[in-house]
Amino acid sequence: MLSAGLAAAPAARAGAQLYEPLSDSVRVALAAALRDRSPPEPRFASTMEKVDWLAEMAERLPARHKPTHAERIEFLQMVRYEAQRAGLDPQLVLGLIQVESGFRRHAISSAGARGYMQVMPFWTRLIGDGEPSGLFDARTNLRYGCVILRHYLDMERGDLYRALGRYNGSLGRPEYPNMVQAAWKRWAYEPGPRLQQVSAPAAAGPSLPR
CA 182 → CA 56, 122, 130, 189, distances in Å? 18, 29, 34, 14
Nearest Cα to Cα of residue 34 among 147, 134, 152, 155 = 147
Q: CA geometry: angle at 2 spanning 173 and 8, to 5°?
A: 60
- Catalytic residue IDs: 100
Q: Is 114 helix (H, G, I), strand (E, B) or coil?
A: strand
- CB-CB contact of 191 with 199 (8 Å): yes
